[in-house]
Structure formats: structure tokens, C-alpha cells
Amino acid sequence: MKTKVELLELINQAILNNGSKHFQWFINFAGHVNTIRISYYQGGWNLSQETGSNPDEVNVKLDEEGSIQEGYWFIKNRL
């Protein structure tokens, strides 16, 4: 099982690679409700605006083990 620390390390990796190879990540952290929304634009944000396509997204509750797993593998499979 993946932990919060492993998820945050993977988020860090996604942020460091942001914009390379024409993909972009948006990470929205809401500390007051302990959630993170992760959005992934495969062709980049500008291309999605031109084509009207929606990003792949996942909402992660940091206090639910299954949600942490979902967030981890969401990023891992797209890096």
C-alpha cells in the first residue's frame, strides 16, 4: 500500500517534469478539507483550450487509504 509520503514524492516528480513532452499537471491542495485534486493535460493546457478537451482528473482524500492509492497510480501511469 502506498503512503501519503510516497504520493507527495510522486507529485513532486510530476511538478518537476511539468511542461516537458507537451503535458502539464495542475495540483490543487485544499488543506481545510485534506484533499488534493490532480489534473493532467496530455497535450498541454493550451492545446486543450483550443480543442475544448477536458483533462484527466482525480480527487484524493488524504485520510482515505484507497483514495491515496488511486492518486498515486493516476500519476504513476502518466509519468
Residue 31, domain extent = 4-76
Q: Report pLDDT for 62.
A: 94
Rounded CA-CA distance 33/63 in Å is 10
C-alpha to C-alpha distances, 4 to 25, 29, 46, 77, nearest whole angstrom:
19, 13, 31, 17
Query: Closest Cα partner for 67 from 34, 23, 30?
Result: 34
Rounded CA-CA distance 66/7 in Å is 12
pLDDT at 21 > cutoff 90: no
Looking at the DSSP bridge assignments, the partners of residue 56 are 40
The pLDDT of 8-26, averaged and rounded, is 88
Span 23-76, pLDDT tens digits: 899 999 999 999 999 999 988 877 777 787 889 999 999 999 999 999 999 999
Q: Report pLDDT for 23.
A: 82
Number of domains making up the chain: 1
Residue owning grid cell 486543450: 48
Q: What pTM did the predictor assign?
A: 0.87
